[in-house]
Amino acid sequence: MTEAIYDVVIIGGGPSGSTAANDLALAGHSVLLMERGGRIKPCGGAVPPRLMADFDIPQSLLVAKARSARMIAPSGRAVDMPVGEIGYVGMVDREDFDEWLRERARSSGAERLTATFEKIERDDLPHPIVTFRRQRGGPIERVRARCVIGADGARSAVAKQCLPGAERVPCVFAYHEIIKSPEGKSEAFDPARCDVFYQGRLSPDFYAWVFPHGDTASIGVGSANKGFSLRGAIATMRDDLKLDRCETVRREGAPIPLKPLKRWDNGADVIVAGDAAGVVAPASGEGIYYAMMGGRVVGEAAAAFLKTGDAKQLRTARKKFMKEHGKVFWILGIMQYFWYQSDKRRERFVTICDDKDVQELTWQAYMNKKLVRAKPLAHVKIFLKDTAHLLGLRPATR
């Protein structure tokens, strides 16, 4: 039997895979976008304005716009961080957002297929064979690809098969419940505010959140502690915030990687993107923008490989991504390692967030997705305050 041959087969139709599929299809390549369907990733759904501009996303996909964030310390002390005049935090529902991205890729020329990836096979012919099943227990089917992109999420089956050490990437397990939003605005819930809880009782090593989604809201938590009850933490939050009576729309859970893979390609014809490549920001867990940017640079690298036949082109994707975002990931990794270790440190971290310079630079970095160098004196001031907190020379609350 002769298999169909595509320029690119993309496994995984989330933001990363769909972005790569759209870009490659627009460039004139034959693309098969394979998505298993029936799964929505647990996600707060926050996207910065830069994402909307960089990837031409219509405002109609936003279900809410958050104008502030509230950081809640172990003591219960809350620090509000208004976005101010520099923008907003857009909120999307991943069920609708991801499907829109997949449909855009299809409209641009990519072929969509609902199926479950099995493995990559090889024979005497030049290009790899992607095997899959359209339904559980169904027959194995095959297509051939000049290039394979694995965008199949954390603990990627493509990465495990093709990239040594991929299975050892550290992950946080995230769980959230989408609920019907309570009516009106209250101290516990504001439809224009993202709440982040830095409390060991809700997460011993990460954080919990309440993010508004218009008619619904995401109540979630993350932790790498396998013995910690994520569902129990959510139940506690809903009870504390008097959200326990709100209707539960759906429940979702999945691992989230917090460290980019050291290598994204196999040196021949396979490359990974998005969560499969580990491009989720440490400390914050932000992933949608980085997934889409990862999908873009991987798509560019794949296109260069298809044009030249030089597999070294695939390596340019990681180099380009890390040049742009590696320093931010490094700093956020240090933050997570230190500040999330104990409630005493979390208390101090929330106190730092009360500083106006910290708030301004944090929002500017979030909106622009790069470190801000516009105010060097503010950076020095923040460094000195941060050092004082690290050494315990400043009180945790004020």
d(CA 198, CA 186): 20
The H-or-E segment that residue 218 falls in is strand 216-223
Same domain, 290 and 275: yes
pLDDT tens, residue by residue, 84-135:
776 789 999 999 999 999 999 999 999 999 999 999 999 998 899 999 999 9
Q: What is the structure's pLDDT at 390?
A: 45
pLDDT band at 377 (very low <50, low <70, confident <90, very high): very low
What the block records as the tokens of 323 is 């040049």
Q: Which residue, of 196, 223, 257, is where some domain finishes?
A: 257
Same domain, 280 and 148: yes
Same domain, 101 and 69: no
Give yes or no for a contact between 174 and 163, defined as CB atoms under 8 angstroms apart: no
Q: How many domains does the chain have?
A: 3
| 19-to-13, 100, 290 alpha-carbon distances in Å | 9, 11, 11
Domain membership of residue 396 (yes or no) is no
Site of tokens 């939003």: 181
Supply the range of the domain harboring residue 24: 4-43+95-169+259-330
Q: What is the structure's pLDDT at 284?
A: 84
Provide mean pLDDT across the span 235-263. 93
Q: Which residue, of 257, 276, 307, is where some domain finishes?
A: 257
Same domain, 193 and 72: yes
Domain membership of residue 218 (yes or no) is yes
- Non-local (6+) Cβ contacts of 28 within 8 A are 109
Q: Would you say residue 197 has pLDDT above 80?
A: yes
- Non-local (6+) Cβ contacts of 356 within 8 A are none
Written as one letter, the residue type at 251 is R
Give yes or no for a contact between 85 and 95, defined as CB atoms under 8 angstroms apart: no
Q: Would you say residue 375 has pLDDT above 70?
A: no
Residue 72 CA to its chain's centroid (Å): 22
Residue 187 neighbours by CB distance under 10 Å: 8
Same domain, 205 and 325: no
Site of tokens 């390596």: 315
The H-or-E segment that residue 336 falls in is helix 316-339
Same domain, 159 and 203: no
Q: What is the structure's pLDDT at 384?
A: 46
Same domain, 36 and 137: yes
The H-or-E segment that residue 305 falls in is helix 288-308
d(CA 149, CA 131): 14
Return the DSSP state at 383: H
Most confident of 39-43, 89-93, 99-103, 251-255: 99-103
Total-model pTM:
0.90
Provide mean pLDDT across the span 145-173. 93
Same domain, 241 and 353: no
Same domain, 250 and 280: no
d(CA 386, CA 393): 10
Written as one letter, the residue type at 137 is G
Same domain, 377 and 289: no
pLDDT band at 396 (very low <50, low <70, confident <90, very high): low
Same domain, 33 and 115: yes
d(CA 125, CA 138): 26
Instruction: Supply the mean pLDDT for the chain.
Output: 89
Give yes or no for a contact between 147 and 306, defined as CB atoms under 8 angstroms apart: yes
Burial tier of 149 (Cβ tally within 10 Å: 0-12, 13-18, 19+): buried
Q: Which residue, of 220, 239, 257, is where some domain finishes?
A: 257
Select the more confidently predicted residue: 226 or 273: 273
Residue 24 neighbours by CB distance under 10 Å: 29
pLDDT tens, residue by residue, 310-359:
999 999 999 999 999 998 888 888 888 888 889 999 999 999 899 888 88
Q: What is the structure's pLDDT at 43?
A: 83
Q: What is the CATH number of the domain that holds 203?
A: 3.30.9.10
The H-or-E segment that residue 221 falls in is strand 216-223
Same domain, 236 and 369: no
Least confident interval from 10-14, 99-103, 128-132, 373-377: 373-377
Give yes or no for a contact between 19 and 33, defined as CB atoms under 8 angstroms apart: no
Provide mean pLDDT across the span 263-277. 97
